[in-house]
Chains A and B, each alone.
Chain A
Amino acid sequence: MTRYLRLIRIFTGATLSAQLEYRANFIGAVLASLGEVGVALLGIAVLFGQPGTTAVGGWSFHEALLVVGLFTLTEGFISVFIQPNLSKIAEAVRTGSMDFTLLKPIDAQFGISTRHLNVLRVTDLLMGMGLTVYAASHLTVTPLGVLGAALLYVSALVIVYCIWLVLSTTAFWFVKTQNVTELFNGVFGAARFPVTAFPVPVRAFLTFVVPIAFITTVPAQALTGELTPALALASPLVAAVFFVGARLFWLKAVGSYTSASS
């Protein structure tokens, strides 16, 4: 365990020093973050801008803003931690450099998931946190609600990581899969809004088929104190099932890996 923690520290140091060399890229990253937050904010701003609209799917403006904040935070998490690592799987399988990862005396999934970091997109994380705190300050939140939301949000991050891992792991068979995660991004865009803002059949799809509801809506509900116990229990359960499933899928993929030349 301590060995893995030390490895994370070394990996982080290495990517940090590699990235901070390109200081001009920082401006680009800030622009990109602003663009992403802008899309999410404009979406709800126009909805609430209509005369007579006080709620979207039963959520007030600040409650909906909370969802936007968590959405931005999750996007930041993806672009800082997940995407820089998992998007390299396809390339590694294609060129055969996956061999090096598999030969190292550490768990390959750990190695492939923690090696890189996109520090520049930390702006997304900051903006997401800022929005969430700002929205929460206009609502009545209890310490218990904050604790519950934090726990459920950890489950959310596990779910996101597992979906990404499974999608990227298909590269072991299909080689060209960078686009598949793009498909997830498309569906994930729906997480900008509370899931109750959608028509009922779509709501079911976003809860049971692609569990987008657990990523932003459920933690936000925990903060506002509107969470049903069933959903509170379902979220960690889904995360656990996803984690085991993704792990098995990864092991199966590695088992069928035959390097680049064969």
Chain B
Amino acid sequence: MTATVKKLRTLFATQFAEMTEFRAEIVIWMLSGTLSLVMMLVWMAQAGNAPGGQINGYSSAEFATYFLSTWLVSQLMVVWVAWELDMDIRQGTLSPKLLRPLDPLWMWYAGHLAERVVRFPALIAFVCLFAWLAGAQFTADPWAYLAAFGLAFLGFSARFLWEYVIGLLAFWTESSTSFQEVVWLVYAALGGMFAPLAFYPEWVQRVAVWTPFPYMLGLPAQLLAGKATLSDAGRGALVLLGWLVVFGLLRLIVWRRGLRKYGAVGA
């Protein structure tokens, strides 16, 4: 036990040191993920022009709150492990990582978590600035924040695992990272990055509740906006845990198969 804890602490410390070196890049990457901000502006203008000043019960300010929350949560869910795996597998730099007495998954997982720590202060500053500019108002309930960040953590872990599986496809195919684009689209759509899920056609909503996406993006955002209850959060957490097990097992299977296929570069 203590050995594992020590390993994890060392991993986290080294990854944290590496991430602080990239702080300028992290801010740039953060600002380049603008889809929810663009959607926010469009919906705000739509609500402003609509008769009664609202669409589906959302006023301009409520749109601002919802989309800024989505932006915040989606920023906590950024995962780039598929790119790392794709590169490492293709160039053979995976080999030295396999020699370590630890599944490389934990190294990347610690790296992503460390990056979140570096990202967080700037993220909060931007959210406060945008909220002030757009007139967004967040809930005052501390439990909602706890639940939202808990869900975001589970959601991040789920996304990390599925992206890991996509990255591992590099063992077999050249174009593994482009699968990402399509999976990202489903995640963004069903997660509620284009609009709150209630705005979608009903059949889409009925499909979405079976996927992890609404619980990792839309639900935490609604919690922060004060539009979802804690029992919603509990139900969402259960669904996410179920999906975590599924993705975890999938990762394990693909990893074992892939390693058998892998012969470093040139084989």
Provided the pairs A31-B178, A39-B35, A49-B201 are in contact, do residues A199 and B45 lie with their beta carbons within 8 angstroms?
yes
Asked if B45 and A31 sit within 8 Å, CB to CB, the answer is no
Please count how many residues in chain B sit with their CB below 8 Å of the partner chain's CB atoms.
37
Provided the pairs A24-B174, A27-B175, A42-B189 are in contact, do residues A186 and B55 lie with their beta carbons within 8 angstroms?
no
> B177 at the A/B interface (Cβ < 8 Å)?
yes
Provided the pairs A27-B175, A29-B178, A50-B199 are in contact, do residues A182 and B38 lie with their beta carbons within 8 angstroms?
no
Chain A nearest CB, measured from B73 CB (Å): 18
Asked if B175 and A192 sit within 8 Å, CB to CB, the answer is no
Q: Which of A17-73 contact B (CB under 8 A)?
A: 22, 24-25, 27-29, 31-32, 34-36, 38-39, 42-43, 46-47, 49-50, 53, 56-57
Q: Which residues of B contact A27 (CB under 8 A)?
A: 175, 178
Among B28, B38, B39, B43, residue most surrounded by chain A Cβ atoms (within 10 Å): B38
> A13 at the A/B interface (Cβ < 8 Å)?
no
> A154 at the A/B interface (Cβ < 8 Å)?
no
Docked CA distance A193–B44 (Å): 14
Q: Which residues of A contact B179 (CB under 8 A)?
A: 28, 31
Asked if B41 and A198 sit within 8 Å, CB to CB, the answer is yes
Provided the pairs A185-B32, A199-B44 are in contact, do residues A31 and B39 lie with their beta carbons within 8 angstroms?
no
Name the contact of A25 in the complex, choosing from B32, B175, B201 (C-beta under 8 A): B175
What size tier do the contact residues of chain A reach? 35 or more
Docked CA distance A176–B189 (Å): 33
Name the contact of B28 in the complex, choosing from A25, A28, A180 (C-beta under 8 A): A180
> A233 at the A/B interface (Cβ < 8 Å)?
no
Docked CA distance A29–B174 (Å): 11
Q: Which residues of B contact A199 (CB under 8 A)?
A: 41, 44-45, 48
Provided the pairs A29-B175, A31-B181, A39-B35 are in contact, do residues A197 and B199 lie with their beta carbons within 8 angstroms?
no
> B182 at the A/B interface (Cβ < 8 Å)?
yes
> A244 at the A/B interface (Cβ < 8 Å)?
no
Q: Which of B189-203 contact A (CB under 8 A)?
A: 189, 194-195, 199-201
> B18 at the A/B interface (Cβ < 8 Å)?
no
Name the contact of A28 in the complex, choosing from B33, B55, B177 (C-beta under 8 A): B177
> A144 at the A/B interface (Cβ < 8 Å)?
no
Chain A nearest CB, measured from B219 CB (Å): 18
Name the contact of B188 in the complex, choosing from A34, A39, A186 (C-beta under 8 A): A39
Asked if A39 and B185 sit within 8 Å, CB to CB, the answer is yes
Name the contact of B184 in the complex, choosing from A35, A182, A192 (C-beta under 8 A): A35
Asked if A189 and B25 sit within 8 Å, CB to CB, the answer is no
> A187 at the A/B interface (Cβ < 8 Å)?
yes
Provided the pairs A24-B173, A36-B181 are in contact, do residues A186 and B33 lie with their beta carbons within 8 angstroms?
yes
Q: Which residues of B contact A50 (CB under 8 A)?
A: 55-56, 199
Chain B nearest CB, measured from A233 CB (Å): 27
Asked if B46 and A31 sit within 8 Å, CB to CB, the answer is no
**Pairs of residues from A and B, 5 with the lowest C-beta to C-beta distance, nearest first:** A28-B175, A35-B181, A28-B178, A186-B32, A186-B34
List 30 A-B pairs, Cβ < 8 Å.
A25-B175, A27-B178, A28-B174, A28-B175, A28-B176, A28-B178, A28-B179, A29-B178, A31-B175, A31-B178, A31-B179, A34-B181, A34-B182, A35-B181, A35-B182, A35-B185, A38-B182, A38-B189, A43-B38, A46-B194, A46-B195, A46-B200, A47-B43, A47-B195, A53-B46, A176-B25, A179-B28, A179-B29, A186-B33, A186-B34
Interface residues of B (CB under 8 A from A): 25, 28-29, 31-35, 38-39, 41-46, 48, 55-56, 173-179, 181-182, 184-185, 188-189, 194-195, 199-201
